[in-house]
A and B are shown apart, each in its own frame.
Chain A
Amino acid sequence: MNQHDTLGERLAQQGISRRAFLKFCTAMASMMALPPGAATAIAEALIKAKRPSVIWLSFQECTGCTESLTRSHTPTLENLIFDMISLDYHHTLQAASGFGAEKSREDAMQEFFGKYLLVVDGAIPLHKDGVYSTIAGRTNLDLLQEASKGAAAIIAVGTCATFGGIPNAKPNPTGAVAVSDIIKDKPIVNISGCPPIPAVITGVLAHYLTFGALPELDDLGRPRSYYGETIHDRCYRRPFYDQGKFAKSFDDEGARNGWCLFELGCKGPTTHNSCATTKWNGKTSFPIESGHGCLGCSEPNFWDAGSFYTPLSAPTVDMTKVVAGAAVAGAGVAAALSVADRAKKRRAQQSHEKLTTKDL
C-alpha cells in the first residue's frame, strides 16, 4: 500500500465500511467543533484526500505537549488520523533511531518540499547564537529556519512554541522566543495551552487534511473554533458568578457547593480556550470543575501575570506599602511647606497684622 494513496483507496483496501467511515467523520466533526451535520461534507472531502507528510520538531520544551497528544483517549480514531498523515519525523518518539531518523527527516523534506506540514513544540532560545538548545549538534534556530523553508504551513503546538511559554518567563535567561517571532513568511497556526487539549491538536490536523487549508485564526493566530470564546463564556459555574456566590478559600462552604472561583484567582474571563466544553482526559473534568481556578495557560505571558491566586480585579503588586509611603510623603511635603511658612506667620503676629478677607 502506497503511503500516499487517497484515504478512500486505503479504507477500501482495509475493508472499512462507509458506515464506519461516516461514524469516524461524525467524531471528527465533533472534535473540530464543527456543527454535527458537517460529517457528510467531511466524508466527501476526506475520501479524496492524499496523505500529507508531517515533520514534528521538538525544541525547548518539557514534552508535555507530545505527552498530551499520545495520552489521548480515543486511540483508535485519533490513530486513524495519524494513519491519515505520514509522520515522517518526530524527534521524541523516534529518539532511539539517531542518524537513521535524521536521514528520514532530510529525505522527507526534500521529497515533499513546499508541501509538508511542520509541527513545532517548545520555544527557541536565541542568546549566544541559540546554543542553549541543540539537537544532533545543530541549534534549534538553525533547524527551524531550515525546516520552515519547504513547509506548506507551520503548526506551533503549546504555549512555549506559540508565545514563548515558561522559558520566556522573567528573566528569560536563554532569550527564548516563539516560532512566530522567528518565521515571518509562512502561515502559522498557534495551538496554545500548557499543554493544549489533545482534541484541539488533532482537530486542527484533521481540518487541514479535510479542507487542505488552515482553519480561521484569531488575532493571536489561534484557531477561532477552539479559542474564539473564553472559559468564562462557557463555564458551567456562570450562574454562581452572576449571583455573586464566590468561594472565599479552598475547601470552604462555597467551594464545596461548587461556587464561582473568581475570588480564588480564576483567570477564566481573560483566557481563550475550550476547556469548559471539550474538557480533559476524555471529558472527565477541567480545572474549575475540579475546584481550582483557571491559570490562563493558553494566553501569552501567563507565567508573569501576577499570582495565580490573585483575583483579576485585584492589583498584582503590593499596594499597602506604596500607599502608606505616599501618605507619609504627602505629609512630609505639607509639613516642610508649613515650616517654611512659619517665619511669615511669626512676623505677621509680631507686627499685629489684621486678619483680612484676602487671607481666607
Chain B
Amino acid sequence: MSSPNDNLKTIPIYAQDTDEYSVGNIRSLLVEIATLLDKLAVSGETGMIDLNSLPLAPGEHEQLRHMLGQGEVTAHIEAIGPSEIIETRYPGVWWVTHYNVEGDIVADTLEITTIPEIIKSQADDINTGLELLQDQISDEVQP
C-alpha cells in the first residue's frame, strides 16, 4: 500500500503568474482615489480607504503598489512594531501600513491628505515630553 505522500508528489505545481492577473478591481480603486484627491484639491477635505476591507484578487495588491509607486517622502515609525508610510507618486496620496512586532500587517490604508495623522506629534505626547524636558532642565541647573 503506497503512502498518501507518494500521490502528493505526483501532483504538478503551477505557480500563479500574478503580474497580469486582474479582475478589474484596480481600475475602480484608482477612480475612487482620483475622486477623493479631487475633493482634497478643491476643499481640503481628507479621505481614507481601508485596503483590508477590499476584495483584491491575488496579485492585485502588488499591482496597486506598482501603479501608485513611490514619491518623494518615506517615513518609518517604531511604535509597538514598525509602520511604513510613503507618499506615492501622486502627491496627496499616502500609503500607510502598520505592522505588529511579528511583522504581520495589522492595518493597510490609503490616506488622501496633506499629511497622515499618525506622523504628527500627538498633544498628550507633547505634554509628557515637555514635563520630561523640564525635569531634565531643572536637573541640569541643580546638580
A26 contacts B53, C-beta separation under 8 Å: no
Residue B135 is within 8 A (CB to CB) of chain A in the complex? no
B50 contacts A30, C-beta separation under 8 Å: yes
By beta carbon, the residue of chain A nearest B102 is A75
B106 contacts A30, C-beta separation under 8 Å: yes
A330 to B98: give the CA distance in the assembly, Å: 69
Residue B20 is within 8 A (CB to CB) of chain A in the complex? no
User: Which residues of chain A in 329-357 are interfacial with respect to chain B, using CB atoms and an 8 Å cutoff?
Assistant: none
User: Which residues of chain B in 16-52 are interfacial with respect to chain A, using CB atoms and an 8 Å cutoff?
Assistant: 16, 21, 23-25, 48-50, 52
**Interface 9-mer from A186-194, A231-239, A301-309, A318-326:** A231-239
A283 contacts B52, C-beta separation under 8 Å: yes
> In this complex, which of A24, A36, A240, A283 has the most chain B Cβ atoms within 10 angstroms of its Cβ?
A36
B139 to chain A, nearest CB (A): 19
Residues in B neighbouring A77, C-beta threshold 8 A? 80-81, 100, 106
A77 to B99: give the CA distance in the assembly, Å: 10
User: Which residues of chain A in 28-55 are interfacial with respect to chain B, using CB atoms and an 8 Å cutoff?
Assistant: 29-31, 33, 35-37, 39-40
A236 contacts B57, C-beta separation under 8 Å: yes
Mostly, the A contact residues are helix
A239 contacts B107, C-beta separation under 8 Å: no
Answer whether A237 and B54 are a contact pair too, CB < 8 Å, given A26-B98, A27-B98, A36-B49.
no
By beta carbon, the residue of chain A nearest B96 is A26
Residues in A neighbouring B24, C-beta threshold 8 A? 239
Answer whether A24 and B122 are a contact pair too, CB < 8 Å, given A277-B53, A277-B55, A282-B105.
no
Residues in B neighbouring A236, C-beta threshold 8 A? 23, 25, 55-57, 60
Residues in B neighbouring A285, C-beta threshold 8 A? 58
User: Which residues of chain B in 72-130 are interfacial with respect to chain A, using CB atoms and an 8 Å cutoff?
Assistant: 77, 79-81, 83, 96, 98, 100-102, 104-109, 111, 117-118, 121-125, 128
A334 to B14: give the CA distance in the assembly, Å: 59
Contact of B122 among A18, A26, A258, A276 (CB under 8 A): A18
Q: Binary interface profile of A, 273-284, with partner B (CB < 8 Å = 1, else 0)?
A: 000111000110
Answer whether A22 and B117 are a contact pair too, CB < 8 Å, given A27-B98, A74-B106.
yes
> In this complex, which of B21, B49, B52, B77 has the most chain A Cβ atoms within 10 angstroms of its Cβ?
B52
Q: Binary interface profile of A, 1-43, with partner B (CB < 8 Å = 1, else 0)?
A: 0000000000000001111101110110111010111011000
A37 contacts B100, C-beta separation under 8 Å: no
B57 to chain A, nearest CB (A): 4
Answer whether A19 and B98 are a contact pair too, CB < 8 Å, given A30-B53, A74-B104.
no
By beta carbon, the residue of chain A nearest B48 is A36
Residue A73 is within 8 A (CB to CB) of chain B in the complex? yes
A289 to B14: give the CA distance in the assembly, Å: 15
Q: Binary interface profile of A, 49-81, with partner B (CB < 8 Å = 1, else 0)?
A: 000000000000000000000000111110010
By beta carbon, the residue of chain A nearest B61 is A283
Residue A256 is within 8 A (CB to CB) of chain B in the complex? yes
Question: Interface on B for A, CB 8 Å cutoff?
Answer: 14, 16, 21, 23-25, 48-50, 52-58, 60, 77, 79-81, 83, 96, 98, 100-102, 104-109, 111, 117-118, 121-125, 128
Question: Interface on A for B, CB 8 Å cutoff?
Answer: 16-20, 22-24, 26-27, 29-31, 33, 35-37, 39-40, 73-77, 80, 234-240, 256, 258, 276-278, 282-283, 285, 289
Given contacts A16-B80, A19-B77, 18 further A-B contacts (CB under 8 A): A18-B124, A19-B121, A19-B122, A19-B125, A20-B79, A23-B107, A26-B107, A30-B108, A36-B111, A37-B48, A39-B117, A73-B102, A77-B81, A236-B57, A236-B60, A277-B54, A277-B55, A289-B58
Could you show 26 A-B contacts with beta carbons less than 8 Å apart? Answer: A16-B80, A18-B123, A18-B124, A19-B118, A19-B122, A22-B122, A23-B80, A23-B118, A24-B80, A26-B109, A26-B118, A31-B106, A35-B48, A36-B50, A74-B102, A74-B104, A75-B100, A76-B81, A77-B100, A236-B55, A238-B23, A256-B14, A258-B57, A277-B52, A283-B105, A285-B58
